Structure 1
Amino acid sequence: MDPNASHITEVVDQKKSTKQRLDALDGQSTRLCVAVEAIEEKVETAEAEIRELNIQLEESLMMCAAMTDAVALLPDLREEMEAMRLQLRILQRAVGNGQAPAQEYAPRLKIPEPRTYGGARDAKEVENFLFDMEQYFLAANIEEGARRVTTATMYLGGDAKLWWRTKYADIQANRVQIDTWDLLKETIRTQFFPENVEYQARRALRELKHTGSIRDCENLFRAYAGHPKHV
């Protein structure tokens, strides 16, 4: 065989082999490019989904903040609702009575509480306590009835409290009945007015008729007996 022909054949075979390898590499490169493009599309899709999730997260956080603010406002809303209910009851009562009590529309002021009565057998202290309680009832809009009795007895202390505990036991046993403010006033006067207050008052008034002024008589009258029964 001709050596040149053999060499040419080898060269041709090498070229074919090289071309085949290049074609194979080109095919691999094409497949790699396709794979890269697919990956890029997936990355873009993932980024779009992440952006959407971020938007949803921000919206959720805003909703949570709004709900937190709403929860913080609940106590104020409850107070407003209670105030509205109170106004509604006042209006209903006004419609039922034909007129609206003016004091119920007045601004709310802190009402000073009456002083506790400890059971001192002094006509002036007794009458001052009863007067203060009546003023407190008016200011606090406490209507006549058992509620006044309950409220007034809360301001008894010392010997007066012990006395009322005994009376309350009698009430519970149906031995006595003290269910109105007038009955309670009369019972307190009977229990705590000094036994000789009437005698002392009459005697002092007789003396003042000759030695004192009219104003002195008035002051003495008020001091010894604020209730006509005792003078």
Structure 2
Amino acid sequence: MGTSQGQEDLTEMVNKLATDVTTHEEALGNAAESFGEMKDEMNVLREQVADLVAMNRALTDTVTALQAEVKELQVKNRTLQRQISVGGGDDRPARVDIQRPSKYNGTRDSRVDNFLFQVEYYLDLQGIMEDDLQVKTAAMLLEGDVVAWWRRKRLDIQKGICTIDTFDHFQRELRTYFMPPNATRHAYQMVGELKHTGSLRDYVRVYQRLMLDVPDMQEQDKLNWFILGLHSWAQSEVERSNPETLEDAYVVAECLADTQRKSYTNAFKPSKKPDHGGKKEDRMEQKDEPSTQHQ
């Protein structure tokens, strides 16, 4: 009886284990099938990503090509506009005669910035937009020692040592060589030393030119140095107006200069001559009156 019960329990356990094994085998089969499907999906995703990358590259190339075409069209349009402005036409307004900037001779000071500013303005007014033509036009405005510098640069360009193919490159190279390293410090020193000793208007003009050489100076410092350099009487007048900006101080100083000039003119204006334009009869009557009374 006991042995028979034990065999039944053992048989039941074996059957249960067999069932569990079968269940696990089915689960593993399903997992393997799911993994295979996932693997297939991953392969599909990889293909889609590759397609997207290829499309992105194609779009980038297209955008680059379009940008190049737009730039070329802009250059052609500007050239056409320049040709139209130069060409004839009875109903076209008269063309403004643009004077070339003064040539730069290589003076090593801040005047190189003034030269480059004038050249940039000249190129814009003339409608010269092509990089190569801008560089050549700027080079034609060089003289003296700076011409030798440009010839050396041209040789370096031909040898591949450097590249100057835009006006920005040209400006950078010219400044690097001809702008003294202490130009800014020297300009600050000149601002501090500038004093109003002569014409007020001349002082304003010189100060304005110096301000071009110290673009990084704080606005309040520019105003303070301008006022401190004035003669005592002009300083008092400007301070009395309480200017908030340097431009305000310029306006007050210009008004003072005008007032000073008018006062000087009035001081030396000849006085009016006596009025001898009265009627002859009146003068005669006045002359005869005493004799009449005397009779």
| TM bucket, shorter chain | 0.3 to 0.5
With CA pairs under 8 Å and 6+ residues apart, which has the higher RCO, 1 or 2? 1
| Larger fraction in helix | 1
Per the normalisation by structure 1, the TM-score is 0.46
